[in-house]
């Protein structure tokens, strides 16, 4: 497991005492990897005491953790640590200002998962495919400005209020905690991934690009952790510096390429000789049902007959069409007589008589008839 997790802390170049603490262990009972970075707050003695209380509480309550209810178990552990620090402050007035911030991780390497709980401005980073991603958020005003994009990383690192935090274990009693006081989450922890837990003594001195360069070029965890601390000290070392690295050394799942089996060689495609089939299992040939074919043929014949009758009826109507009456230019002119319209009147002497009318014209222009 030495290849999976490593932790290191350093007092830095300015302070005389180290208020940071860390945990880097494998939990033999469950197989989880426990990593934690704790940064004490509150002066020469107070910060060390708060960090030690939180460390002991975490190791005691997560020693026999199982895969069930991990996040609630982690939240409960931090609440217990908060209560112990708060009660200790009430008993000892010299520790009135003490508190601590921390980032806690449980890594399930076997199942490629990680779970975390976080309070304050310590940080958790995930390195995947040469890219470093910050997972936790800083519980401080400057951290909020940086996470929201209102401050650049370089501006946040040099901000005069960068160390002023607004959330820490021990500030208030557990009963006064809000629901979102403890930040929690879970994420895939894939083969080849690396986790970095660190105090602000590292991130206030070197930026993310420099951190990425160090841990990607030097994959050995002890060596990489030492280089990170050395870089922070070379940049000033104004605070305690603590680093915990966790690596998933599992090999990525791979599948060997195999030649596909030809279809003719598969059991389903192999031909079975008829002699091998028992008589009882012989399948009788299916008789085709031709009734529907005959029905369709009959239906087509009937339709053709109906169509033929309709065509004959149309032709007959065209031949017997009545002649229209002639159109006359003068509608008052009598129709010309036809042989059928002449009426013969028989006389006594079997002669035909034709009556004539004589007209005389008077001088006054009137016509008289005799």
Please give the pLDDT value at position 348.
45
Please give the pLDDT value at position 333.
58
Burial of 27 (0-12, 13-18, 19+ CB in 10 A): middle
Question: Average pLDDT in the 77-99 region?
Answer: 94
Contact 189, 224 (CB under 8 A): no
Q: Where are the domains positioned within the chain?
A: 5-247
Dihedral over Cα of 72, 77, 80, 86: its sign? negative
The yes-or-no verdict on residue 241 having pLDDT over 70 is yes
What is the pTM (predicted TM-score) of this model?
Answer: 0.68
Residue reference for tokens 């449980």: 106
Q: Which residue in 136, 131, 132, 135 sits closest to 119, CA to CA?
A: 136
Determine the length of the chain.
370
| Distance between CA atoms of residues 111 and 233, nearest Å | 37
Q: Which residue has the higher pLDDT, 82 or 296?
A: 82
Going by their DSSP bridges, the two strands 241-247 and 123-128 should be labelled as unpaired
| Distance between CA atoms of residues 103 and 109, nearest Å | 18
* CATH homologous superfamily of 5-247: PPM-type phosphatase domain (3.60.40.10)
pLDDT digits (tens, 9 = 90+) for 313-338: 888 877 765 555 555 555 555 655 55
Please list the alpha-helical segments (H only) found in 97-140. none
């Amino acid at each position: 497991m030495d290849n999976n997790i490593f932790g290191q802390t350093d007092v830095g170049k300015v302070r005389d005492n180290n208020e940071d603490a860390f945990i880097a262990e494998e939990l033999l009972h469950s197989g989880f990897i426990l990593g934690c970075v704790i940064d004490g707050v509150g002066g020469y003695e107070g910060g060390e005491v708060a960090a030690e209380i939180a460390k002991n509480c975490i190791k005691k309550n997560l020693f026999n953790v199982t895969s069930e209810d991990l996040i609630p178990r982690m939240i409960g552990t931090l609440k217990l640590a908060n209560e112990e620090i708060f009660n200790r402050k009430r008993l000892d007035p010299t520790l009135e200002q003490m508190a601590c911030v921390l980032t806690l991780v449980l890594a399930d390497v076997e199942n490629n998962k990680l779970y975390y709980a976080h309070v304050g401005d310590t940080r958790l980073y995930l390195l995947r495919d040469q890219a470093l991603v910050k997972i936790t958020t800083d519980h401080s005003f400057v951290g909020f400005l940086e996470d929201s994009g209102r401050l650049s990383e370089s501006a946040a690192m040099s901000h005069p209020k960068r160390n002023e935090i607004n959330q820490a274990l021990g500030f208030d009693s557990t009963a006064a905690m809000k629901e979102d006081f403890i930040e929690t989450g879970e994420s895939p922890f894939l083969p080849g991934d690396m986790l970095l837990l660190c105090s602000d003594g590292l991130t206030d001195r070197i930026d993310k690009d420099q951190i990425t360069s160090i841990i990607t070029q030097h994959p050995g965890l002890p060596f990489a952790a030492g280089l990170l601390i050395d870089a922070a000290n070379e940049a000033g070392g104004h605070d305690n510096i603590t680093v915990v690295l966790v690596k998933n050394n599992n090999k990525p799942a791979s599948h060997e390429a195999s030649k596909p089996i030809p279809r003719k060689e598969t059991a389903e495609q192999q031909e079975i000789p008829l002699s091998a089939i028992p008589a009882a299992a012989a399948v009788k040939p299916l008789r085709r049902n031709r009734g529907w074919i005959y029905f369709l043929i009959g239906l087509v014949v009937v339709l053709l007959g109906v169509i033929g009758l309709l065509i004959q009826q149309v032709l007959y109507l065209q031949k017997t069409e009545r002649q229209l009456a002639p159109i006359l230019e003068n509608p008052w002119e009598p129709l010309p007589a036809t042989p059928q319209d002449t009426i013969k009147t028989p006389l006594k002497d079997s002669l035909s008589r034709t009556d004539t009318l004589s007209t005389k014209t008077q001088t006054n222009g009137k016509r008289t008839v005799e």
